Structure 1
Amino acid sequence: MKTAVSSANKSSLSLIFADFKEITKARLSISVVFSAIAGYFLGATEIQLVPILLLAFGGYCMVGASNAYNQVIEKDLDALMNRTKNRPIPAGRMSVKTALLIAVVLTLIGIVSLYVLNPKTAMFGAISIFLYTSAYTPLKTKTPLSVFVGAIPGAIPFMLGWVAATNDFGIEPGTLFMIQFFWQFPHFWALGWMLDEDYKRGGFKMLPTGKKDKSTVLQIIMYTIWMIVISVIPVFGITGALKLSIPAAVLIFLMGMVMLIFAFKLYEKQDNASARKLMLASVSYITLMQIVYVVDKFI
């Protein structure tokens, strides 16, 4: 009997943990934390464990809170789409009150954690939550410009790490912001292309032209080119303390060109398979680019 009760309790805890990961979008949150830590390494003159832990913990809380608020607001729309109908709220495994409580608690803990680092970091974290929930989320059903608005909080993490390390905002974190800002467009439009039919079930307007056409891909190509340009600008020595060696810049340029080739493939074929390859290439690019920046600084 005790064994059965113990197994049931473990199973229940596993389900609760799984729903917590889902409501906070754990994979996305961890990737955002990775970007923030990369920014911290770039800005720090001395690597310290406590600030890294505070940044990682506070960053996860802030992103998790944004995602929880988003799922509360979009609960009815999530129920209409195949990719989201099994989320905790539309599936009935979590109440709106519980999800909202999680969001509020994570917001408070996240802001306090980032404030301990410095007030500017907490401020940018709070701005990110506000824009994501109060601007990006409601605009998704009204205009494709929501992607532009959403790209602002989406670009903050890389920059946030630098601010956390330096307590300063200047050209260096501004450049990191712009890199991730321009990256958002090919990434999300490739994703929007793949999920266009499902997004339309929920009434979301994600593609810039509203259609899976060449005009949409031309914009993807344009933003990819801008992303590449901004990514290598530090090699010219015009971005303050943020620097990039010639070999690192060449490597990042080549990685960007690979992503651009996938964008041209999508222009040529206009199919979901090509969009998926571009989306995966974009994920690889942002991760590897940040690693190259950090490794280049320390070698």
Structure 2
Amino acid sequence: MKSAVGSVKNNSLSLIFSEFKEITKAKLAVSVVFSSIAGYFLGAYQLNVASIALLAFGGYCMVGASNAYNQVIERDLDALMKRTKNRPIPSGRMSVKTAIGIAITLTVLGVVALYILSPKTAMFGAISIFLYTSVYTPLKTKTPLSVFVGAFPGAIPFMLGWVAATDDFGIEPGTLFMIQFFWQFPHFWALGWMLHEDYKKGGFKMLPTGKRDAGTAFQIILYTIWMIVISVVPAFGITGRLHLSIPAAILVLLAGLVMLFFALKLYENRDNASARRLMLASVTYISLIQIIYVVDKFIS
């Protein structure tokens, strides 16, 4: 009997944990934490384990809170789309009240954790939640410019790590912000291209022209080029303490050219398969260049 009770408890805990991961979009949150820690490594004069732990915890809380608020706000629209109808709220597995409670709790915990690191870090974290939930989310059904607005909170994590390490905002974290800012356009437009029909069911306007056409594909190419340019700028010695050695800059450039290749293939083919390859290339790109930046700092 005790074994059966223990099994039921374990299953219940497993289900709760599973729902928590879904409402906070755990995979996305972890990738954001990775960006923040990379930024911290770049800015820190010496590494502090407690600070890294606070940044990781606070960062996850802030992203998780944003995603939970987003799913509360979009619950009716999520129910209309194939990719989102099985999320915790539209599927009925989690109540709106519970989701809001999770979001508020994570917001408080996140702000406190980041404030312990520095008030500026907490401020940028709070700004990211506000922009994501109060500006970006409502705009998604109004205008394709929502992607531009959403790129601001989306670009904060890489920069946030530097600010957490230095308690300073200058050209270095500004450059990290711009790298991730421009990266988001080809990434999310590739995703928007793949899911265009599903997004239309929810009334979301995610592509710049509203269509999977040459205009959208061309803009993806332009933003990819800007992303590449910004990513190699630190090699020219004009971004303060943030710099790249020539070998590292070449690796970053090559990674960017690979992504540009897939952007050009999307322009040529204009199909979902090409969009998917570009989306996957973009995910690889942002993680890879962050690793290159960090490794280059410690070996050069």
**Normalising to structure 2: TM-score of the pair?**
0.99
**Partners in 2 of 1:15 and 1:80 — Cα distance?**
24
Q: Give the CA RMSD over aligned residues.
A: 0.5
Shift of 1:217: 0.5
**Partners in 2 of 1:218 and 1:32 — Cα distance?**
27
Amino acid at match of 1:243: H
Equivalence for 2:109: 109
Identity of aligned residues (%): 79
Deviations 1:213-232 (A, max 9, x none): 01000000000000000000
**Partners in 2 of 1:11 and 1:118 — Cα distance?**
39
Equivalence for 1:59: 59
Equivalence for 2:174: 174
Amino acid at match of 2:43: G
Deviation >3 Å, runs of 4+: none
Shift of 1:10: 1.2
**Partners in 1 of 2:103 and 2:295 — Cα distance?**
35
**Partners in 2 of 1:295 and 1:221 — Cα distance?**
28
Equivalence for 1:202: 202
**Partners in 2 of 1:127 and 1:29 — Cα distance?**
17
1:116 partner SS: helix
Shift of 1:46: 0.5
Shift of 1:41: 0.3
Shift of 1:2: 2.5
Amino acid at match of 2:13: L
Shift of 1:5: 2.1
Equivalence for 2:79: 79
Unaligned runs of 5+ in 2: none
Equivalence for 2:283: 283
**Partners in 2 of 1:4 and 1:211 — Cα distance?**
55
Equivalence for 1:145: 145
Report 1:259-270 matches (<5 A).
259-270=259-270
Equivalence for 1:30: 30
Deviations 1:9-60 (A, max 9, x none): 2111111100000000000000000000000000000011000000000000
Deviations 1:198-256 (A, max 9, x none): 10111000000000001000000000000000000000000011011001001100000
Report 1:115-130 matches (<5 A).
115-130=115-130
Residue 231 (str. 1) matches residue 214 (str. 2):
no
1:297 partner SS: helix
**Partners in 2 of 1:260 and 1:157 — Cα distance?**
24
Equivalence for 1:18: 18
1:86 partner SS: coil
**Partners in 1 of 2:254 and 2:51 — Cα distance?**
33
Amino acid at match of 2:212: K
Equivalence for 1:94: 94
Amino acid at match of 2:101: L
Q: How many residues align?
A: 299
1:247 partner SS: helix
**Partners in 1 of 2:79 and 2:196 — Cα distance?**
16
Unaligned runs of 5+ in 1: none
Amino acid at match of 2:132: Y
Deviations 1:68-107 (A, max 9, x none): 0000000000000111101000000100000000000000
**Partners in 1 of 2:200 and 2:112 — Cα distance?**
38
Amino acid at match of 1:7: S
1:244 partner SS: coil
Shift of 1:4: 2.1
**Partners in 2 of 1:53 and 1:93 — Cα distance?**
31
Equivalence for 2:8: 8
**Partners in 1 of 2:167 and 2:65 — Cα distance?**
23
1:47 partner SS: coil
Deviations 1:254-299 (A, max 9, x none): 0000000000000111110100000000000000000000000000
Report 1:245-256 matches (<5 A).
245-256=245-256
